[in-house]
Amino acid sequence: MARKPRQHVNPLSARYLVPRAHRIEPPAALGPDPPCDVELGCAEGAFSFALAERDPERLVVGLEIRERMVARNQARARALGLRNLVFAYANLQVDLHRVFAPRSVDRFHLLFPDPWFKRRHGKRRVVSPYLLGTMARQLRAGGEVHVASDVFEIALSAMEAFDGPAGAALGFESLAPGGPWGFVRDNPYGVVSRREAITLRRGQRVWRLRYRLAAPPENP
Ligand SMILES: C[S@@+](CC[C@H](N)C(=O)[O-])C[C@H]1O[C@@H](n2cnc3c(N)ncnc32)[C@H](O)[C@@H]1O
């Protein structure tokens, strides 16, 4: 019987620091440069499956550090015949830069990213200067980053990264109705991740951020 995927792994343990993620090429049926959404830390991939089913012309990629989870999702996507849906291993703190060509992604979704919310685990948080810089290189001009969390402290630290000087220098502009340092109430993408569904069912608040890459750096 297949073993259950582990609940959590430490992305900074020696095993996960070795870069081994691979470049993802769009499936031939979608043409060379299809619209592309990426779910970062997708777990069982509910958001990715729903998006791929709704929009068959769009390449949807779910990236996850837990390899058993990746294998399960790949098998399910094959069984459903979803040829626009790709699941792959990546450690978002180490090797995302290997996965996509510059200016090939339209939207990154970082949804309920982080089980490490205690202060002493701060350095394991997924939103890092490496991740921001990599997304800024891989997004197309006008591309988006969508972050959501049920943990206010995590959302706030992501906001600090994007709305602060480093995020602004990379070209990120807030899409919050009130401008920078604001949250976005509604989910405009029409599909929800498993964790978002659970949070809403519990009547809890989703702390959502959206950014557009307004002015990509000259030399990716
Ligand atoms: C709480 S789950 C959220 C899953 C899904 N996005 C959702 O909203 O339902 C966070 C996921 O991110 C993954 N993750 C955490 N750190 C990661 C990293 N450095 N690289 C890749 N995935 C990571 C975890 O393994 C876990 O599956």
Q: Is residue 3 part of a domain?
A: no
Q: Which residues of the chain have pLDDT under 70?
A: 1-6, 115-124, 215-220
- Here the CATH number for the domain that contains residue 108 is 3.40.50.150
Clarify whether 163 is annotated catalytic.
no
11 within domain boundaries: no
pLDDT in tens, 147-205: 999 999 999 999 999 999 999 999 999 999 999 999 999 999 999 999 999 999 999 99
Whose Cα sits closest to atom 12 in ligand 1? 41
Question: What's the pLDDT score for residue 12?
Answer: 84
DSSP letter at 184 equals: B
State which of 64, 195, 204 you would mutate to test the pocket of ligand 1, scoring each by most atoms of that ligand within 8 A of its C-beta: 64
Sorted by sequence, the CB contacts under 8 Å of residue 149 that are 6+ apart come out as 112, 113, 114, 155, 158, 206, 207
SS3 105: strand
Q: Indicate the number of domains in the chain.
A: 1
Q: Would you say residue 41 lies in a domain?
A: yes
The answer as to whether 57 is a domain residue is: yes
* CA 177 to ligand 1 centroid distance, Å: 27
**Which of the residues 33, 37, 55, 114 is marked catalytic?**
114
Tokens of 206: 């989703």
- Answer yes or no: is 209 within a domain: yes
Query: Does residue 17 sit within a domain?
Result: no
Of the chain, the end-to-end C-alpha distance in Å amounts to 45
pTM: 0.94
Residue 66 lies in a domain: yes
Q: The domain containing residue 163 runs over which residues? A: 31-213
Q: Is 154 inside any structural domain?
A: yes
Q: Diameter of the chain by CA atoms?
A: 52
Q: How many angstroms does the Cα of residue 41 sit away from the middle of ligand 1? A: 3
